Amino acid sequence: MIELYPAGKRYTVKNDWLESNLGFSFGEYYDSSNIQFGPLRVFNDDTVQAGKGFGIHPHREAEIVSIVLKGQLKHEDNLGNAGIISRGNIQRISAGTGVLHSEFNASNQEEVQFLQLWFLPNEKKLIPSYEDISYDIEQLHNHLLPVISRTGSDRVAKIHQDLTLYLSKLEDKKTLNFRQEAGRKIYVFNIEGEISINKDSILKSRDAARITDTHEITIHGNQDSFFLLIDLPGGEF
């Protein structure tokens, strides 16, 4: 089954420095029918104005992934980690028993756009940790490139959950096939362009799809597109 979630139906939080489009219940937005999808608990599509950001705040028991789409995002935490990530970088924080961190737009001139995803970990009371990796943007072309996985590698961030997150830039009229083990779930978020899944399910820019009971899909580029796909475990969380 493929359930579509159009971009225009997301809950939006907006003030003078932040626009946050929420894929799941978060903060002031609560919908008992939209809490999570498997271990995927948060999917925020954020735009932060120049020089602004989120001051020091705590997290616990979450695997936090940030993917910058435009601009630069500055991170600092109480573990001594500090850095700036931009397009082509992936940041993963394992909050575990507790971490304090801040996130700010590193530029005083242009906005930063990024996706932030929170996953429930597969183990409680982990020691907090931080990782950022860079991926080769050229390898995204007409290919599902893993950038986060349970095992990790030099250019794949390691996450404490049985999932793999892929990025892809699919050209117009090109097709990709994806197959997973039966009983798992698939989450697709189309960042730019337009794609179709199994011919009939069309995702425009910022649309999402939650896929269950369908372990093999075909993704077609209706135009040049940039999207992410997450192979998630089934079951209850």
**Residue 17 dihedral angles phi and psi, to the nearest 5°:** -130, -10
Q: Residue ranges for the binding site for Fe cation?
A: 57, 59, 101, 103
**Backbone dihedral region of 41: left (phi > 0), alpha (psi from -120 to 50 degrees) or beta?**
alpha
Q: Name 155's Cβ contacts closer than 8 Å, sequence gap at least 6.
A: 133, 134, 135, 136, 147
Q: Name 205's Cβ contacts closer than 8 Å, sequence gap at least 6.
A: 7, 190, 191, 192, 193, 194
Strand order in the sheet with 63-70: 11-14, 18-22, 40-48, 112-119, 63-70, 89-94, 129-134
Q: Residue ranges for the binding site?
A: 57, 59, 101, 103
